[in-house]
Amino acid sequence: MVVVLSGNFRGQGPAKIVSIDRDSKRAVVEGINTALKHVKRGHPKSPQGGRVTIPVAIDVTNLALHCSSCNRGVRVKTQVIDGAKRRVCGKCKKSL
Ligand SMILES: [Zn+2]
């Protein structure tokens, strides 16, 4: 789960990441950064034509991981737990 730090959707979340592109550092987040696309008749999502809501990828630098115990977006640190590297909340050290 992530929260949005900037842009039109600032302050929204926690929301689920749908997909992520590591090369371009952009991610599609559920319900965040949507656009209306006008489509012609016969489109699978809108047979009679009209406007369809489509997801648009958002830059990952505008996102922060959501910590369920702090209830906010937090910075992530790494910690070695039982020999394995784990992501932990930078504030409360909860494993994310
Ligand atoms: Zn936390």
Q: How far apart, in whole angstroms, are the C-alpha atoms of residue 35 and residue 32?
A: 10
Residues 25/17, Cβ–Cβ less than 8 Å = no
Centroid of ligand 1 to alpha carbon of 63 (angstroms): 16
Q: How far apart, in whole angstroms, are the C-alpha atoms of residue 33 and residue 5?
A: 12
Residues 62/5, Cβ–Cβ less than 8 Å = yes
Tell me the residues surrounding ligand 1 (ion) with CB < 5 Å.
67, 69-70, 89, 91-92, 94
The pTM score is: 0.78
What CATH architecture is 2-89? Roll (2.30)
- CA 24, 20, 81: angle at the middle one, nearest 5? 110
Domain map (residue ranges) of the chain:
2-89
pLDDT tens, residue order, the chain (96 aa): 999 999 889 999 899 999 999 999 999 999 999 999 999 998 888 889 899 999 999 999 999 999 999 999 999 999 888 888 999 998 888 888
